[in-house]
């Protein structure tokens, strides 16, 4: 197959006739509850491009929701997967184990923050990683309550729906939810700052607010774990105020509460560090348990919980597992993806991407007061769109902007508790030229609205 040209190209309207036909078949076959951001059907993807079945080539600023960090056809991933499927696709690690699983666990133990002894368990998805982290924390502490935060997203299974903050579309009508889950206020510097300047810049104060609520409404003696995304993803790419996360970690350590970092979206070079926790404090911070998924599998489904050996090994033998967890093909892909991240310095590449995006969006913000905030780290940057007079969220403009970008051949995603954030998550293999072009399209389309 010829290489996929790294250029934006509109061969038809979006969606083209092939995609329209598939949409009709889909309507009769696929459950309505599963939605898609764009109406085009993919044929090929790689570098910074997704090509659809009508020959349209779109600039990819979404990475399949932060998954294809190393690209969608990274040669090391493709080769490793080909090799593995020709040897065996599955035996089940719980029946006859294999080296790939052990090698991925070793790699995760090595690259995750913290120089203590660690263990890992491999799973199928982000939600399953969160489910298991909570099981492990409860087993270790012999306590049951779990704290999550406003604006959080942790998945769609029953326990993770309870952890997730937003009702529509994730939870509405799907209750009852798992019990003994409590919610604390997060640090949201932009929105906090509209009310209280100090709260927006002083992470210790924001942490004290959350801790005060947890102490009075739950009690540390009942709390098994605190679960938090170091940069909130679906909630709006919210980078907490400096000091917020370290203050929460210190409180957890003092109170025998397991600190679980959900790095499903932020992990694996995405934020310009191997993990978002690496940005916190002078030398980074080391959570007790860290959940990963998305980017670690190089596009194949894989999740993991990695953490302190004493906590991980508190679980009885056979208490963790699952038929497909740590599937050998997904493990081969993960080892290929990790080699790409380390050998191609994709952490450094994420920092370059951050500079490029901030520079362009900073200029855009200076010219357009509907952009309330530009924030994020690495290749995980967002704009929050507001009504300029009041800073009220503007979800209608957000939706219109995303749709206009899609029609112009640029994949952007939206997010945010109030639906008013456009987020950029390019693969780290995108060229500067494509990224710049994508940002120009975004700026042009916003100018027309």
Q: Which residues bind ligand PMP (CB under 6 A)?
A: 65, 125-127, 130, 153-155, 229, 233-234, 262, 264-265, 293
Residues 6+ apart with CB under 8 A from 14: 38, 39, 40, 56, 406, 407, 409
Q: How far is the CB of 407 from ligand PMP (least distance, A)?
A: 25
CA distance 424 to 60: 9
CA dihedral 346, 348, 351, 352 (to 10 degrees): -90
CA distance 68 to 426: 9
Tokens of 79: 């080769």
CA distance 241 to 121: 31
CA distance 394 to 391: 9
Query: Could you report how far apart the first and last alpha carbons of the chain are, in Å?
Result: 40
Q: Which is nearer to ligand PMP, 91 or 323 (by Cβ)?
A: 323
Q: Which is nearer to ligand PMP, 192 or 262 (by Cβ)?
A: 262
Q: Which is nearer to ligand PMP, 248 or 434 (by Cβ)?
A: 248
CA distance 243 to 282: 10
Q: Which is nearer to ligand PMP, 371 or 413 (by Cβ)?
A: 413
CA distance 251 to 249: 5
Q: How far is the CB of 355 from ligand PMP (least distance, A)?
A: 24
Q: Which is nearer to ligand PMP, 155 or 378 (by Cβ)?
A: 155
Q: Which is nearer to ligand PMP, 165 or 446 (by Cβ)?
A: 165
Q: How far is the CB of 293 from ligand PMP (least distance, A)?
A: 5
Q: How far is the CB of 71 from ligand PMP (least distance, A)?
A: 19
Asked if 52 and 16 count as a contact pair (C-beta separation under 8 A), the reply is yes
Indicate if the alpha-carbon torsion angle 298, 331, 270, 67 is positive or negative.
positive
Q: How far is the CB of 191 from ligand PMP (least distance, A)?
A: 19
Q: Which is nearer to ligand PMP, 65 or 103 (by Cβ)?
A: 65
Q: How far is the CB of 79 from ligand PMP (least distance, A)?
A: 25
Task: Give me the residue whose beta carbon is nearest to ligand PMP.
Answer: 126
Q: How far is the CB of 375 from ligand PMP (least distance, A)?
A: 16
Helix and strand counts by DSSP (H, E) for the chain: 15, 16
């Amino acid at each position: 197959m010829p290489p996929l040209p790294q250029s934006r190209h509109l061969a038809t309207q979006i969606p083209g006739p092939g995609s329209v036909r598939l949409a009709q078949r889909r309507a009769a076959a696929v459950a309505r509850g599963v939605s898609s951001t764009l109406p085009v059907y993919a044929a090929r993807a790689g570098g910074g491009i997704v090509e659809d079945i009508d020959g349209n080539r779109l600039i990819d600023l979404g990475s399949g929701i932060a998954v294809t960090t190393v690209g969608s056809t990274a040669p090391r991933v493709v080769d490793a997967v080909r090799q593995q499927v020709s040897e065996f696709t599955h035996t089940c690690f719980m029946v006859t184990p294999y080296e790939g699983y052990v090698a991925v666990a070793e790699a995760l133990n090595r690259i995750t923050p913290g120089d203590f002894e660690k263990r890992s368990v491999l799973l199928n998805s982000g939600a399953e990683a969160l489910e298991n982290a909570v099981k492990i924390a409860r087993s270790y502490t012999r306590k049951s309550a779990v704290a999550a935060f406003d604006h959080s997203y942790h998945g769609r299974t029953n326990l993770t729906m309870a952890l997730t903050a937003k009702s529509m579309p994730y939870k509405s009508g799907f209750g009852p939810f798992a019990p003994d889950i409590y919610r604390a206020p997060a640090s949201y510097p932009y929105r906090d700052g509209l009310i209280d300047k100090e709260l927006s810049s002083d992470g210790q104060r924001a942490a004290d607010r959350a801790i005060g609520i947890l102490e009075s409404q739950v009690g540390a003696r009942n709390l098994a774990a605190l679960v938090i995304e170091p940069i909130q993803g679906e909630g709006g790419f919210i980078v907490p105020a400096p000091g917020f996360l370290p203050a929460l970690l210190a409180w957890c350590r003092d109170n025998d509460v397991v600190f679980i970092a959900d790095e499903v979206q932020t992990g694996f070079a995405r934020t310009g560090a191997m993990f978002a926790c690496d940005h916190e404090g002078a030398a980074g911070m080391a959570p007790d348990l860290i959940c990963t998924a998305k980017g670690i599998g190089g596009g194949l489904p894989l999740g993991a919980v990695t953490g302190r050996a004493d906590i991980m090994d508190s679980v009885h033998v056979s208490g963790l597992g699952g038929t497909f967890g740590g599937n050998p093909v997904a493990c081969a892909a993960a080892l290929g993806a990790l080699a790409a991240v380390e050998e191609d310095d994709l952490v450094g590449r994420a920092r370059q991407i951050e500079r490029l995006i901030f520079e362009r969006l900073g200029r855009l913000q200076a010219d357009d007061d509907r952009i309330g905030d530009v924030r994020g780290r690495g290749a995980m940057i967002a704009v929050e769109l507001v009504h300029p007079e009041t800073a009220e969220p503007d979800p209608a403009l957000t939706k219109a902007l995303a749709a206009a970008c899609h029609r112009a051949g640029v994949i952007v995603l939206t997010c945010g508790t109030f639906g008013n954030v456009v987020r950029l998550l390019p693969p780290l293999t995108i060229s500067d030229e494509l990224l710049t072009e994508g940002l120009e399209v975004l700026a042009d389309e916003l100018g027309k609205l």
